[in-house]
Amino acid sequence: MRKSASDSCMKFPFAALLIFVSLLSTHAFASLGGDAASVDADVAQMRAGRSIEQAATYTVQQLNTDSGTTVREYVSFGGRVFAVSWQGSFVPDMQQLLGSYFDQYSAAVKANREAYRGRRPLDIQLPGLVVQMTGYARHFHFRAYIPQQVPAGAKLGDIR
């Protein structure tokens, strides 16, 4: 069976659309456990406005995009991202957000697949990683933190 020129023309726009969508969905976020310098790259990549809130033992770098997505990166005075939270209308790129912790997260989700099926909130509590996600279509909340790196005096309820 021979392909017509119109078949080839239809495949090109579809492939171009897939590439375009994948580029739009690749936002740079500071990786959990990464350094504070990555926050500057995130601001530029997301074209986000940034505000900085000073807490007693850490800073919160809040990034706001035109689409309404809010990313908060919690940076210790030692310069490490010990927590990341996110609110928005789509699920973030978990590998980018969790960085080197992604494999632990992925293994925990696979091991407990039945517990996280459907509309249940995600609540992974590992010795070196906590990941929580709730939400519904177009309104998701996510937070992840490294318990051992949370500065003394910081309240987990403040990671929102």
As to burial, measured by CB atoms within 10 angstroms (0-12 exposed, 13-18 middle, 19+ buried), residue 76 is middle
Is the pTM here over 0.85, yes or no? no
For the stretch 32-45, what's the b/e string if a residue is b when 16 or more beta carbons lie within 10 angstroms of its beta carbon?
Answer: bbbebebbeebeee
Q: Return the bridge partners of 63, or none.
A: 50, 71
pLDDT band at 61 (very low <50, low <70, confident <90, very high): very high
Using an 8 Å Cβ cutoff, are 88 and 133 in contact? no
Per-residue pLDDT tens digits for 10-25: 443 333 322 333 333 3
Residue-level length of the chain: 160
pLDDT in tens, 114-134: 766 666 788 999 999 999 988
Residues sharing a CB contact under 8 Å with residue 27, sequence separation 6 or more, in sequence order: 42, 45, 46, 92, 93, 96
What integer best gives the mean pLDDT of the chain? 79
The dihedral over CA atoms of 153, 155, 158, 160, expressed in degrees to the nearest 10, equals: 130
Confidence at 38, pLDDT banded by 50, 70, 90: confident
